[in-house]
Amino acid sequence: MALPQTVRDSDRSPGPLRLTLDSSSFVPYYEQIVSQIRNLIKDRHLQEGQIFHSEGELARMLGISKMPVRQAFQKLRSEGLLLIARGKKPVIGSGTLPWNFQQLRGFSEEMRRRGLTPSAKVLSLELCKPDQEVAQALRLGPDEQVFRLRRLRFVDQAPVAVVTSYLPAAIFPDIDKQDLEGQSLYHVFEHIYHRKLHWAEEVIGAATTKPEDAKLLQAAPGSAVLLIKETTFDVQQAAIEFSISILRGDRYAASVVSVRKK
């Protein structure tokens, strides 16, 4: 039997808030909490910048331990829906995920670090002659070829990015025989081809979706996207990948820390 538990308004609460937990459901409490808070934000019952309940307050109101609430908060934080600072109450976020470009992480690594589940679908993979931009980025000679890998990236089964990677065929022979959906590309680089990654150069900009990409991303044609062009280098200073990533602008934002030199 379902046991509805309601969060009531209090002097310290952000406003009227109702959450219902079903103890007979196979869905864990933390997932029930996440789903309902997502919907409250989506329906604007909770708005960006609004102060939210602490873990302890929400746990007491629901009559449960703090652990599922903590798990829910971690999930919502990873999605940019809760902003949590030490010693302060959580604040409702915009839902955009800040991507820290000072850390060289692959897409899968970054999403797992945030507590999300990444996956990929290979849209196409072909051996071709690079255009001028790709050849220059990868420092290729006139007769060298690349593998052009196009993938649709998902987070928690929702499409969020279309990524086109250009890989020098001389460095990655037979990469078309690798499992490029079940393992990350960075894993393939380092563990299959033994190319240890060192650094990357990114150019970040804004663009609008083309009809084909919009359909893949389940976004409106012409909607805003984050456009990232990245060249990745190994420890031998060889350019091993040039990629063009198109990310939904309503889910991602660039995060860069700048330090003023004296």
pLDDT score recorded for residue 4: 44
Closest-CA residue to 163 (of 144, 145, 186, 143): 186
Strand 97-100 to 252-255 pairing: parallel
CA–centroid distance for 250 within its chain: 12
User: In whole angstroms, how far apart are CA 171 and each of 101, 140, 196, 241?
Assistant: 25, 11, 13, 10
Q: Cα–Cα distance between 190 and 65 in angstroms, integer?
A: 42
pLDDT score recorded for residue 76: 87
pLDDT score recorded for residue 15: 57
pLDDT score recorded for residue 2: 41
Q: Cα–Cα distance between 150 and 126 in angstroms, integer?
A: 9
CATH of domain 97-255: 3.40.1410.10
| Residue type (1 letter), 36 | Q
**The CATH classification of domain 1-95, taken from the options 3.40.50.2300, 1.10.3720.10, 1.10.10.10, 1.20.20.10:** 1.10.10.10
pLDDT score recorded for residue 18: 80
pLDDT score recorded for residue 155: 78
pLDDT score recorded for residue 107: 76
pLDDT score recorded for residue 6: 45
Q: How many CA atoms lie within 13 A of 189 on its CB side?
A: 21
- If one counts every other C-beta atom within 10 angstroms of the C-beta of residue 97, the result is 22
pLDDT score recorded for residue 193: 97
- Residue spans of the domains in the chain: they are 1-95, 97-255
pLDDT tens over the chain, length 262 residues: 344 444 443 334 455 578 889 989 899 999 999 999 988 888 888 888 889 999 999 999 899 999 999 999 988 887 778 877 777 888 887 676 665 555 566 777 777 776 677 889 999 999 999 999 999 999 999 999 999 999 998 877 778 889 999 999 999 999 999 999 988 899 999 999 999 999 889 888 889 999 999 999 988 889 889 899 999 999 999 999 999 999 887 776 666 555 566 6
pLDDT score recorded for residue 16: 55
